[in-house]
Amino acid sequence: MSAHTHAHLHVHIPKVRTLVLVWLALICLTGMTTAVSYLELGWMNIVIALLIAVSKASMVAWIFMGVRHTTSLTKLFVVAGLVWLGIMILITASDYNTRNWTYQPMPWANNPAGGLSK
């Protein structure tokens, strides 16, 4: 086997303090999201719940999974995955949310002026 050239691996080792702080924040946010769910805030409930979940997830990704030290390519991949999930949900939702905009059962039935004649 031919000789290999070895580049040095550059490894970012997180501090214990950082990890523990993130853990603490995650636990607090879990308590918070539970508490807020008992308040009557209308549509704000789900918005807050999702905001908290997104920030928790970002912390796990950014620190625990080390996204902050990865290459921009990896970051691009992560973003692409989320964008694709967004595409799926948003476009599908666009169907469900506009289905009844102009729904008229058998429009010709009560529209003598136009449409199909009987």
Alpha helices by DSSP H, 37-65? 44-59
Choice between 7 and 112, CB closer to another protein = 7
Rounded to the nearest whole angstrom, what is the least distance from the CB of residue 27 to another protein in the complex?
A: 6
Count of residues touching another protein (by CB under 8 A): 69
Question: Which residues inside 32-91 make contact with another protein, applying CB under 8 A?
Answer: 33-34, 37-40, 45, 49-50, 52-53, 56-57, 60-61, 63-66, 69-71, 73-74, 77-78, 80-82, 84-85, 87-89, 91
What CA–CA distance (Å, rounded) separates 107 from 37?
A: 44
What CA–CA distance (Å, rounded) separates 49 from 34?
A: 9
Of residues 101, 105, 114, 118, which one binds another protein by CB under 8 A? 101
